[in-house]
Structure 1
């Protein structure tokens, strides 16, 4: 979320972002813009208007978002991932743009994966370093929590999705996959390790 989308668009352009959709008002509810980071990955900014009624609804929504981030429900958006062939450029941009912090994920079984902290005490997303291996890609994508990654892959491919990677797993039992929908949009699936 942005406090002022117009100002942030201008600031992010100076850091190397390009504008795909300029700051645009959505009725009296919000302003949004869609940009691309220096590697071409799409992301969006949005801000809400400041009427009292909307502020009350926003506070309730933010409380719900915070609860969902702590305990996402199966089928819901629960993580974001940045795939990058230039991890230093990606980290530099997002640190300068939003103050994000990147920490190597030691539970990823040696995979070049970083947790992304966006201001909370827990990570909100991750960054996969694709600079070392073949077939690496630059992307930003949402990831959804599911109860069974292989079964969800089967349902998604029946609906026209294509599997790009996975299913794969970490030593801690997390199972994940990366797919594209019939229009080429990437998304991730993951399931948590069963409690011991």
Structure 2
């Protein structure tokens, strides 16, 4: 078992067309999907799984959120031992509460937060006392990298390293784009310990956000599946340290996501 407190561990797509999104990601990433708790409603919460088990969920954008202008997006949940106390602590560290803590029957207690730069994430304490099984490195269909396009680089760095206890790795100079700071949610400062990166929000990015990189086998084959399924590749494939290749893309409903995989003979 692994302790997920202070770490991203669940990923959720709110979308305008859940069934179309499930078909798209099922083809591109290889996920299987099952209604949560065997729900038989018109719009069930669908749990998607990779090679090592559940990854996250897909659901329709709630009516009240749609009325407020929400468009399809991927969000991430950070594990919490006490959602109310953690929300208060994060506010004191410069964050904001976007939705007060409340219970989800049969799931747990959650709150919607924003970091100092404005990027949204959720806190969640599950009802089950069991911790999640650790996911093997580079397990197909799971998240291999977490990337923050920060709206306030220095403040966000202090927020995540201070309030969450994340550690810093190498900082890479990207010229006019600023620094790309590697971070680890699990401790350590060597490259193998890194779980993501924080960088200043590029001018092309309309809002600060967290972007999640889902693991695929052959990145070029995945690109073909993205475009064939009606998605749009925004950037890449681009090689990254460690020999992997990445793309950033939009799904057919407009949610931004990213993929990481290998190329040529290195692809599984």
TM range (shorter): 0.7 to 0.9
Asked if 1 retains the 8 angstrom alpha-carbon contact of 2:140 and 2:216, the reply is yes
Aligned to 1:123: 194
SS of the residue corresponding to residue 156 of structure 1 reads helix
> Structure 1 regions of 5+ residues with no counterpart?
none
In structure 2, C-alpha distance between the alignment counterparts of 1:37 and 1:114, rounded to whole Å: 16
- RCO higher in structure (CA 8 A, sep ≥6): 2
In the alignment, which of 257, 262, 265 is matched to residue 187 of structure 1? 257
- For the pair 1:104 / 2:195, whether they are aligned, the reply is no
C-alpha distance 93-87 of structure 1, shift in aligned 2 (>3 A): same
Q: TM-score, normalised by structure 1?
A: 0.76
Aligned to 2:61: none
In the alignment, which of 57, 76, 81 is matched to residue 142 of structure 2? 76
Aligned to 2:124: 46
SS of the residue corresponding to residue 87 of structure 2 reads helix
SS of the residue corresponding to residue 217 of structure 2 reads coil
In the alignment, which of 116, 138, 159 is matched to residue 229 of structure 2? 159
- TM-superposed deviation, 1:31: 0.7
- How large is the RMSD of aligned CA atoms in angstroms? 2.7
Asked if 2 retains the 8 angstrom alpha-carbon contact of 1:78 and 1:143, the reply is yes
Aligned to 1:13: 91
> Structure 2 regions of 5+ residues with no counterpart?
1-78
- TM-superposed deviation, 1:91: 0.5
Asked if 2 retains the 8 angstrom alpha-carbon contact of 1:130 and 1:136, the reply is no
Asked if 1 retains the 8 angstrom alpha-carbon contact of 2:119 and 2:151, the reply is no
Aligned to 1:135: 204
In structure 1, C-alpha distance between the alignment counterparts of 2:162 and 2:80, rounded to whole Å: 15
Greater strand fraction, Structure 1 or Structure 2: 2
Q: TM-score, normalised by structure 2?
A: 0.58
Asked if 2 retains the 8 angstrom alpha-carbon contact of 1:85 and 1:136, the reply is no
- For the pair 1:33 / 2:111, whether they are aligned, the reply is yes
- TM-superposed deviation, 1:163: 2.2
